[in-house]
């Protein structure tokens, strides 16, 4: 029996997809295929974070369901965040769906498959307690030299715009020992770069140890022989401590890459988001990072059009972006999500105003990035090669320590050869906003 899986949304969702693939291929002996038309069973692992993601998930489900008529498809399973939140609606409105499985029931996928093959309609969304461990079957879908590693599940924060705790449950941290065990298994299989994931990585360990343990975890992971690069994502500004900054500064294997989603800098907006006490608190954290590690890459995400955002608030945000000069910024228009506190806040912003502010901020950041990246031209910089470029079969592509997998641009090489996972030096001769081009000038020794 052939299985295909479509993973939508974030990299955390991708790790869940890798567990589905691992469990069904290793325990059930299912044959995996990338050709949807050949699959007997398809799992669509959905995202439901914001409106656009919901729409993409539903469109994908409808598109795949057509293969019941035109292909070999016998059973369609909907998994992930959308499934967790809207299981009843999915089965009611989309009769083509055979099963719905939530974010906390990944370990029940074998049972779900058995039941749908008996022509039962299945709903498994009751639990939000599942937490994968080093022994949970997993099949990597990334290149063999890089992998994501989820260190916790769920979230204890209560940001007023966010529905994730309702979809993923409360914070559940894995032990340091278990994470290190999985990391060693990954490195033994050829992984050289590990990317730590959680809803908020800086929350890690509070539930288990009574204290924040990300810095301790990273120090332990750095001891693994064969691991070359260690990167972490989603750091809440409130929890970026001096200890964490110092560990990231002193450990050679840790990429000096800070992914700190601040969302805004205006006091009233941050308070209404339940995101930070003040703009000063947010700015102080970023200033401490930059002062301690001037060469650090700093990425953030920002939300425009949050309820009550005035022109003055937006201009304050623009001014700070212009002043601080982030390396990367993900800009989002506020999405009004049911069952969140922000849904009922007064002074909702019209869509056309959100769109205008979004465009202005994106354009400003593009100009900043272009100027910053031009300063790197002529330098020889370490790059981890990911493989043959999607731009041309005659080019290799890779990333610097300051470019995270799939989201921050890439480096294209015009001369020289290297294997995927090899760390080389590339002379940057051209740049195109977030991408760089140049020859390999030194291979890994």
Identify the top-confidence range among 74-83, 84-93, 255-264: 255-264
163 and 227, same domain (yes or no): yes
> Is the separation of the CB atoms in 352 and 312 below 8 Å?
no
In a domain, 129, yes or no: no
pLDDT at 127: 75
Residue pLDDT, tens place only, 369-379: 999 999 999 99
- Is 10 annotated as belonging to a binding site? yes
What mean pLDDT comes out for the span 202-226?
A: 96
255 and 327, same domain (yes or no): yes
- Res. 111: pLDDT tops 90: yes
In a domain, 199, yes or no: yes
95 and 42, same domain (yes or no): yes
pLDDT at 133: 96
In a domain, 113, yes or no: yes
Using 50, 70 and 90 to split pLDDT, how confident is the model at 241? Answer: very high
What mean pLDDT comes out for the span 121-138?
A: 88
What mean pLDDT comes out for the span 311-317?
A: 98
- Res. 315: pLDDT tops 90: yes
pLDDT at 47: 84
Using 50, 70 and 90 to split pLDDT, how confident is the model at 113? Answer: very high
178 and 323, same domain (yes or no): yes
Using 50, 70 and 90 to split pLDDT, how confident is the model at 98? Answer: very high
Beta-carbon-side half-sphere exposure of residue 58 (alpha carbons within 13 Å)? 15
Q: In 34-175, which ranges are continuous DSSP H helix?
A: 51-65, 67-70, 81-85, 87-93, 109-116, 164-168
What mean pLDDT comes out for the span 269-296?
A: 95
Residue pLDDT, tens place only, 390-405: 888 889 999 999 999 8
In a domain, 16, yes or no: yes
The Cα 180–Cα 428 span in angstroms is 35
pLDDT at 50: 66
> In a 10 Å sphere around its CB, with 0-12 CB exposed, 13-18 middle and 19+ buried, how is residue 178 labelled?
middle
The 10 Å Cβ neighbour count of residue 97 is 24
345 and 383, same domain (yes or no): no
114 and 151, same domain (yes or no): no
User: Domain boundary at 374, 397, 420, which?
Assistant: 374
In a domain, 140, yes or no: no
395 by DSSP, 3-state: which? coil
Cα dihedral 276, 281, 282, 287 in deg (nearest 10):
-170
pLDDT at 49: 65
CB environment 258-279: b (16+ within 10 A), e (fewer): bbbbbbbbbbebbebbebbeeb
- Is 47 annotated as belonging to a binding site? yes
Range of the domain at 207: 146-374
User: Domain boundary at 328, 350, 374, which?
Assistant: 374
> Is the separation of the CB atoms in 297 and 339 below 8 Å?
no
E-state strands within 174-270: 193-197, 229-232, 257-259
Using alpha carbons, select from 216, 206, 284 the residue that is nearest to residue 247. 216
Residue pLDDT, tens place only, 2-33: 999 999 988 999 999 999 999 999 988 999 99
Contacts (Cβ under 8 Å, ≥6 apart) of 166 = 84, 85, 339
pLDDT at 70: 86
Residue pLDDT, tens place only, 180-202: 999 999 999 999 999 999 999 99
In a domain, 78, yes or no: yes
Residue 401, domain CATH: 2.40.50.140
The Cα 54–Cα 47 span in angstroms is 6
120 and 157, same domain (yes or no): no
Residue 18, domain CATH: 3.40.50.12160
- Is 255 annotated as belonging to a binding site? no
What mean pLDDT comes out for the span 323-331?
A: 96
pLDDT at 92: 86
Q: Percentage of residues in the chain with pLDDT exceeding 90?
A: 78
370 and 389, same domain (yes or no): no
46 and 63, same domain (yes or no): yes
What mean pLDDT comes out for the span 92-99?
A: 91
Using alpha carbons, select from 339, 333, 406 the residue that is nearest to residue 10. 406
In a domain, 133, yes or no: no
- Is 222 annotated as belonging to a binding site? no
In a domain, 138, yes or no: no
Give me the number of domains the chain comprises. 3
User: Domain boundary at 352, 374, 396, which?
Assistant: 374
171 and 311, same domain (yes or no): yes
336 and 199, same domain (yes or no): yes
What mean pLDDT comes out for the span 408-436?
A: 93
183 and 314, same domain (yes or no): yes
- Res. 46: pLDDT tops 80: yes
- Res. 126: pLDDT tops 80: no
pLDDT at 377: 94
Residue 327, domain CATH: 3.80.30.20
Lowest mean pLDDT among 38-47, 65-74, 339-348: 65-74
């Amino acid at each position: 029996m052939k299985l295909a899986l479509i993973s939508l949304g974030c990299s955390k969702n991708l790790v869940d997809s890798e567990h589905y693939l691992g469990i069904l291929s290793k325990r059930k002996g299912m044959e995996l295929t990338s050709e949807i038309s050949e699959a007997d069973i398809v799992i669509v692992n959905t995202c439901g974070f914001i409106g656009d993601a919901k729409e993409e998930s539903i469109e994908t489900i409808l598109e795949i369901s057509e293969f019941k008529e035109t292909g070999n498809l016998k059973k369609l399973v909907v998994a992930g965040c959308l499934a967790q939140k809207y299981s009843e609606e999915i089965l009611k409105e989309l009769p083509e769906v055979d099963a719905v499985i939530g974010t906390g029931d990944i370990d029940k996928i074998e049972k779900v498959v058995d039941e749908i093959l008996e022509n039962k309609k299945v709903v498994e969304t009751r639990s939000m307690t599942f937490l994968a461990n080093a022994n949970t079957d997993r099949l990597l879908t990334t290149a063999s030299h890089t992998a994501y590693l989820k260190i916790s599940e769920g979230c204890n924060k209560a940001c007023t715009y966010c529905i994730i705790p309702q979809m993923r449950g409360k914070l559940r941290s894995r032990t340091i020992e278990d994470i290190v065990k999985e990391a060693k298994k990954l490195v033994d299989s050829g992984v050289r770069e590990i990317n730590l994931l959680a809803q908020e990585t800086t929350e890690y360990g509070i539930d288990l140890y009574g204290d924040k343990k990300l810095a301790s975890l990273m120090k332990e992971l750095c001891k693994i022989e064969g691991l070359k690069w260690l990167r972490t994502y989603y750091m809440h500004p409130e929890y970026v401590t001096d200890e964490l900054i110092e560990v990231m500064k002193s450990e050679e294997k840790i990429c000096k890459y800070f992914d700190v989603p601040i969302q805004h800098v205006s006091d009233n907006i941050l308070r209404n988001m339940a995101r930070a006490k003040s703009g000063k608190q947010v700015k102080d954290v970023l200033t401490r990072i930059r002062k301690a590690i001037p060469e650090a890459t700093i990425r953030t995400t920002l939300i425009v059009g949050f309820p009550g955002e005035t022109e003055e608030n937006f201009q304050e945000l623009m001014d700070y972006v212009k002043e601080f000069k982030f390396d990367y910024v993900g800009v989002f228009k506020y999405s009004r999500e049911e069952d969140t506190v922000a849904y009922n806040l007064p002074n909702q912003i019209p869509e056309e105003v959100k769109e205008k502010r979004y465009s202005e901020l994106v354009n400003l950041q593009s100009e900043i990035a272009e100027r910053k990246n031009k300063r790197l031209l002529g330098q020889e910089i370490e790059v981890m090669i990911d493989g043959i470029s999607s731009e041309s079969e005659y080019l290799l592509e890779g990333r610097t320590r300051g470019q995270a997998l799939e989201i921050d641009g890439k480096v294209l090489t015009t001369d020289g050869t290297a294997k995927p996972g090899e760390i080389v030096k590339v002379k940057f001769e051209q740049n195109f906003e977030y991408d760089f081009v140049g020859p390999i000038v030194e291979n890994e020794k």
